[in-house]
Amino acid sequence: MIDRAAAPKFVVLTRIGRTDLGETTVVIDEDALHVMMRESDQMIRVPLTSIDGAVLAEGEILLALRDGTNITFVARTASALREVILGRCRALPELTHALRAFGSRRGHRSTRAIAADDQRRFFAPLLDARRQAGTANTSLAAVAAFDADALSRAFESELRGFAAERYGAHPAARRALEAELIDLSEPLQAALDGLRDAARNVTTSVDDLRLWREWARQLNATFEIADRVWLSLDVALDANPWNL
């Protein structure tokens, strides 16, 4: 949890529905938005997960909450406040927690000498995209870092590379292993198709945080499915010794 004393603060006029709260201080940490009354010790906590939209118009921010409540903030710094709210709401999930197989004995229980290297190569497209997204300047740039088409091409290239390394001099065996590996990776391809659709929705409606969360859930699911797919691929690669 971010220390509230160091979290971003904004002095704004606040209205919840039709109730005017007057001047308040808004503090935003990693989990919630806190509206603190100036004339009392009262505070209203708004979980970030309850915010479905944050629209800026003429110096006012309209927050739409999941339960139908609307909160309006009026301030000269409205644009900056909205960016902080959106930035907190669009924080990327800790995706590597979904990779239980990666870097573990469970993930490369094979006895083949290059098992760990094969594993790193397979997961590299997702991990590279995660690094790029982590340094992105905007949420849309973070979405773009997980380009589903680019990821699909990268995975297919690695799978074909695995087959070529094992059966480069035996075209029929190479094609058979390619087909097997690609068939095993079909759940991952389906997840990437879903990620492509979710990303398209996000980029066409940037103010709708519900669409962002749908994309984030699909992204997390893509990591989880890649983890499961790897276990099947690992078994298939064990059955096909390297460089025959």
For range 38-51, the mean pLDDT: 89
Give yes or no for residue 5 having a pLDDT over 60. no
Q: Are residues 15 and 56 in the same domain?
A: yes
- Band of residue 243 on the pLDDT scale cut at 50, 70, 90: low
Q: Are residues 78 and 171 in the same domain?
A: no
> Of 65, 89, 113, which marks where a domain is finished?
89
> Of 29, 55, 89, which marks where a domain is finished?
89
Give yes or no for residue 81 having a pLDDT over 90. yes
What percent of the chain stands above pLDDT 70? 90
Question: Which CATH number do you get for residue 25?
Answer: 2.30.29.30
Give the lowest-confidence range in 9-13, 47-51, 137-141: 137-141
- Up-side HSE of residue 179: CA atoms within 13 Å toward CB? 6
Give yes or no for residue 86 having a pLDDT over 60. yes
Give the lowest-confidence range in 61-70, 87-96, 157-166: 87-96
pLDDT of residue 4: 46
Give yes or no for residue 221 having a pLDDT over 60. yes
State how many domains the chain has.
2
Q: Are residues 84 and 109 in the same domain?
A: no
Give yes or no for residue 98 having a pLDDT over 60. no
| Mean pLDDT over the full length of the chain | 89
- Up-side HSE of residue 197: CA atoms within 13 Å toward CB? 10
- The residue among 40, 89, 88, 72 whose CA lies nearest residue 208 is 89
Q: How far apart are CA 143 and CA 133, in angstroms?
A: 7
* DSSP strands (E only) in the chain: 9-16, 19-28, 32-37, 43-47, 51-57, 60-65, 70-74
Q: How would you classify the pairing of strands 70-74 and 60-65?
A: antiparallel
Q: How far apart are CA 192 and CA 222, in angstroms?
A: 7
- Band of residue 102 on the pLDDT scale cut at 50, 70, 90: low
pLDDT of residue 47: 96
- Band of residue 19 on the pLDDT scale cut at 50, 70, 90: very high
Q: Global pTM?
A: 0.83
Q: Are residues 68 and 115 in the same domain?
A: no
Answer for the pair 28, 34: CB distance below 8 angstroms, yes or no.
yes
Q: Give 17: exposed, middle or buried? Use CB within 10 Å, 0-12, 13-18, 19+.
A: exposed
Give yes or no for residue 55 having a pLDDT over 80. yes
Give yes or no for residue 92 having a pLDDT over 90. no
Q: Which domain holds residue 161?
A: 95-238
* Partner residues linked to 51 by β-bridges: 65
Residue 48: φ, ψ to 5°: -60, -30
- Kind and range of the H or E run holding 92: none
